[in-house]
Amino acid sequence: MKVAVVGATGLVGTKMLQILEERNFPVTELIPVASAKSVGKEVIYKGKPYKVVAVEDAIKQKPDIALFSAGGSTSLEQAPLFAEAGITVIDNSSAWRMDPTKKLVVPEVNADVLTAEDKIIANPNCSTIQMVVALKPLHDKYKIKRVVVSTYQSVTGTGVKAVDQLFNERKGIEGPMAYPYQIDLNVLPHIDVFTENGYTKEEMKMIKETKKIMGDDSIRVTATTVRIPVMGGHSESVNIEFEKDFDLDELRTLLSESPGIIVVDDVANLKYPMPLDAHEKDDVFVGRLRRDETQENTLNAWIVSDNLRKGAATNAVQIAEYLVANHLVGQAVEA
């Protein structure tokens, strides 16, 4: 497999390289791609240096798969160039997610929608990914009517500049600001830009993407997304109303037996998911499972995952793994 990583020098691109290596993805040739100012720089993969090349050079080398993490405008411009050359693009930006002609995929939820004809595949928003991994088995069994989610999102979701801002503030150093306000010792109920309805784009992404990934427009979702001064992962408080009633122990077992989920739910021993514990792991951690005592058939849950891994890079690599295993890309490859 020839694999291009577009945006290879960024936070998520670097993580993609790490995860390709960790998961031993069948890379026979790596093609790191970045903006003009980064061309010629080196990235390290499996202990070897690889020179960053420009988009045109990458396309000429005809990779089988291009993992994109280079921002929405770059993706809108460049992903079609790869796709036209017969290269399968897995894109991490928001550019293609709600395009009705493109698949929006979380492998544990809806990988079965993929075909060999899908040349641009969208990776969902980080906060949506971890939530739908937990929602999928519950929806299959109890049928979800409504979801109310509040997020507690890591600064790593914004990028290196935000991480620097947090640590600069912690040290009392002035520097570039990723946010309009101080983030250390603070909470910002504001992720992405505000839209006309008073919700942010991040909130609207969670609302729309959930329906598309789950393949069910009847699920009602409302969201409040919040940036907090933590590293390691995003956390979510999720209130889920079902059509059918549930037994809590049965529900807990169902989640623990579902792919990609680890249940950490032992309040007697103060065991519950935290970003520190999710950091550098690929699973979605679920805990604080309890009935909502104010209305029937409703569950409260706490969901945590590493936003750079399962929320971005790992999910993209897992999509690539599915394509390879099911002979939907490149040469026929043994699963």
Q: Is 200 helix (H, G, I), strand (E, B) or coil?
A: strand
Interatomic CA distance for residues 308 and 157, integer angstroms = 7
Q: Is 126 a catalytic residue?
A: yes
Interatomic CA distance for residues 53 and 31, integer angstroms = 7
Annotated active-site residue in 126, 139, 190, 279: 126
- Does the annotation flag 63 for ligand binding? no
- Does the annotation flag 130 for ligand binding? no
Interatomic CA distance for residues 280 and 283, integer angstroms = 9
Annotated active-site residue in 190, 234, 279, 327: 234
- Does the annotation flag 38 for ligand binding? yes
Which parts of the chain are beta strand (E)? Answer: 2-6, 29-33, 42-45, 48-51, 65-68, 88-91, 103-104, 120-122, 144-152, 220-224, 234-242, 261-263, 284-291, 298-305
- Does the annotation flag 20 for ligand binding? no
Spatial neighbors of 219 by CB under 8 A, at least 6 apart, are 139, 144, 145, 146, 147, 210, 211
What are the φ/ψ torsions at residue 172 (nearest 5 degrees)?
A: 75, 25
- Does the annotation flag 11 for ligand binding? yes
- Does the annotation flag 151 for ligand binding? no
- Does the annotation flag 307 for ligand binding? yes
Residues flagged as binding site for substrate: 153, 227
Residues forming the active site:
126, 234
* Residue numbering of the annotated binding site: 9-12, 37-38, 97, 153, 176, 227, 307
Which residues are annotated as part of the binding site for phosphate?
97
Binding residues for NADP(+): 9-12, 37-38, 176, 307
